[in-house]
């Protein structure tokens, strides 16, 4: 591995972690389906968390190697990218309608999670206790999502299920398929962990070579890579006309990235995670501001227009340009 250029190691790790996360998501969903877990629960929890698995794998690996700033930067950068670039690109392709449940639950949860992360970071560190609070909040949020889904989100859950799960097989075949999916699950977990190790090693080596911080690498290259599942899923859903799938996947991922993903990373990290002044005073506030801007935009006609979508995309590239000009 040392003979390879860090960029090749990073790209190789990225490819492996995305492949592993995709296989893990599909196998976990099919196993849950065969265990007769509600399609609503599968669609709105397993899938929403599943698209954030790359961030989780990278975050845990980075924290274990003492590179916690990369993990925090990755989550902040991923949320900025998801809400500005991916959501904006989807709306630029075709105006994006906003459902009432997004305004009632998902957007407030997204804003609250972003603000809570800033408050926790004021002392310069993120602790296990704070991680446990975020994970508990993720459990509570999931319970609210499932409860809400019983009233008005069954169609969205069915669309998720159609995308990620196969029809329930006959009883005679179920055991064999269960074993097959269990093996696939084990392989996918191994791939995801190995890919995350490669990605973190390559990213850190690249940061050292160019004299930039782990946080900047996490905000840019790593965030772009780990958010690729959301990007691909949203663009494909948009082109297919599955608009609820696109919105639900993006907003759910933005909430789970902070509550479940970063919360878990903080909880399992062998030491408190340091938060740099740049992250505290620039990047985390930008991520929170982006989440807050979504509220008036979403409320305006309950739709993101093409113009607003292009504005989101332009804001993302402006942020990236400023980041690269001032901190690289």
Tell whether the model's pLDDT for residue 16 goes beyond 90.
no
- For position 123, what pLDDT does the model report? 95
- The domain ranges of the chain are 6-327
Tell whether the model's pLDDT for residue 105 goes beyond 80.
yes
- pLDDT interval class at 1 (50, 70, 90): very low
Tell whether the model's pLDDT for residue 245 goes beyond 50.
yes
Residue 285 in tokens? 């506030």
- For position 14, what pLDDT does the model report? 77
Q: Is 272 left (phi over 0), alpha (psi -120 to 50) or beta?
A: beta
Please state, in angstroms and rounded to a whole number, the distance separating the CA atoms of residues 89 and 308: 10
Tell whether the model's pLDDT for residue 225 goes beyond 60.
yes
Tell whether the model's pLDDT for residue 136 goes beyond 90.
yes
Predicted TM-score (pTM) of the model is 0.78
- The rounded mean pLDDT for the chain is 81
Residue 234 in tokens? 């949203």
pLDDT single digits (tens) 74-88: 899 989 998 999 899
Lowest mean pLDDT among 24-33, 51-60, 116-125, 249-258: 24-33
Residue 320: HSE in the Cβ half-sphere, 13 Å Cα cutoff: 18
Angle at the Cα of 86 from the Cα atoms of 80 and 89, rounded to 5 degrees: 130
CB-CB neighbours of 293 under 10 Å: 17
- For position 229, what pLDDT does the model report? 67
Tell whether the model's pLDDT for residue 192 goes beyond 80.
no
**Domain 6-327 belongs to what architecture?**
Up-down Bundle (1.20)
- For position 80, what pLDDT does the model report? 95
Highest mean pLDDT among 32-41, 147-156, 303-312: 303-312
H-run or E-run covering 225: helix 223-226
H-run or E-run covering 19: helix 6-34
The residue whose two tokens read 């269990």 is 182
For residue 291, what are the CA distances in angstroms to 71, 80, 84, 115?
A: 19, 8, 9, 10
Q: Higher pLDDT residue, 139 or 217? A: 139
- pLDDT interval class at 218 (50, 70, 90): confident
Q: What is the arithmetic mean of pLDDT over 234-260?
A: 74
- pLDDT interval class at 231 (50, 70, 90): confident
Lowest mean pLDDT among 48-52, 72-76, 121-125, 149-153: 149-153
The residue whose two tokens read 């740049």 is 278
Highest mean pLDDT among 5-9, 40-44, 70-74: 70-74
Please state, in angstroms and rounded to a whole number, the distance separating the CA atoms of residues 240 and 326: 39
- pLDDT interval class at 293 (50, 70, 90): very high
CB 135 within 8 A of CB 127: no
For residue 131, what are the CA distances in angstroms to 135, 212, 273, 297?
A: 6, 27, 10, 31
Q: What is the arithmetic mean of pLDDT over 297-313?
A: 91
CB 291 within 8 A of CB 128: no
Q: What is the arithmetic mean of pLDDT over 82-102?
A: 85
| DSSP label at residue 98 | -
- For position 162, what pLDDT does the model report? 58
- For position 210, what pLDDT does the model report? 78
- For position 303, what pLDDT does the model report? 86
């Amino acid at each position: 591995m040392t003979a390879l250029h860090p960029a090749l190691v990073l790209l190789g790790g990225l490819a492996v972690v995305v492949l592993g996360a995709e296989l893990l998501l599909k196998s976990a969903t099919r196993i849950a389906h065969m265990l007769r877990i509600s399609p609503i629960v599968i669609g709105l929890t397993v899938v929403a968390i599943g698209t954030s698995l790359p961030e989780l794998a990278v975050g845990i690996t980075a924290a274990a190697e003492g590179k916690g700033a990369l993990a925090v930067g990755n989550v902040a950068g991923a949320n900025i990218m998801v809400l500005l670039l991916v959501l904006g690109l989807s709306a630029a392709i075709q105006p994006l309608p906003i459902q009432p449940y997004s305004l009632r639950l998902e957007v407030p949860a997204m804003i609250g999670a972003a603000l809570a992360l800033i408050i926790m970071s004021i002392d310069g560190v993120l602790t296990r206790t704070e991680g446990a609070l975020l994970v508990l909040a993720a459990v509570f949020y999931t319970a609210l999502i499932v409860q809400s889904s019983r009233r008005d989100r069954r169609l969205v859950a069915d669309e998720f299920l159609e995308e990620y799960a196969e029809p329930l097989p006959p009883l005679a075949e179920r055991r064999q398929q269960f074993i097959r999916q269990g093996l696939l699950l084990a392989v996918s977990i191994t791939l995801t962990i190995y890919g995350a190790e490669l990605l973190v090693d390559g990213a850190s080596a690249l940061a050292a070579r160019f004299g930039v911080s782990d946080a900047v690498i996490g905000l840019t290259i790593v965030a772009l890579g780990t958010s690729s599942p959301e990007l691909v899923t949203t663009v494909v859903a948009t082109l297919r006309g599955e608009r609820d799938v696109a919105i639900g996947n993006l907003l759910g991922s933005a909430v789970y990235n902070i509550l479940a993903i970063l919360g878990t990373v903080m909880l399992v990290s062998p030491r408190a995670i340091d938060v740099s002044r740049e992250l505290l005073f620039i990047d985390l506030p930008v991520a929170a501001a982006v989440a807050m801007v979504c509220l008036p935009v979403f409320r305006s006609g309950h739709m993101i227009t093409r113009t607003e979508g292009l504005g989101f995309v332009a804001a993302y590239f402006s942020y990236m340009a400023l980041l690269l000009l001032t901190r690289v």
